[in-house]
Amino acid sequence: MVREYLRSECVKELLSQAQDSSLTHSTLQLRATMSAIRH
């Protein structure tokens, strides 16, 4: 439950950043975040 909450918050943050920065950078950051959450 906490993990799902953190994941949704990370996605929201990355989506908001994607509007300001390049989509490629945000995608890489999203991958890194998801990888960190899984482990």
Cβ neighbours for 11, distance < 8 A, ≥ 6 positions apart? 30
Q: What is the pLDDT of residue 6?
A: 79
Q: What is the pLDDT of residue 23?
A: 64
Q: What is the pLDDT of residue 1?
A: 67
The structural domains of the chain, with segments of one domain joined by +, span 1-38
- The C-alpha atoms of residue 35 and residue 20 are separated, in whole angstroms, by 23
Q: What is the pLDDT of residue 39?
A: 65
CA triple 26-29-34, angle to 5 deg: 125
Which pTM was predicted? Answer: 0.37
Q: What is the pLDDT of residue 7?
A: 84
1-36 pLDDT, tens digit per residue, is 688 887 888 788 877 776 666 667 778 888 888 888
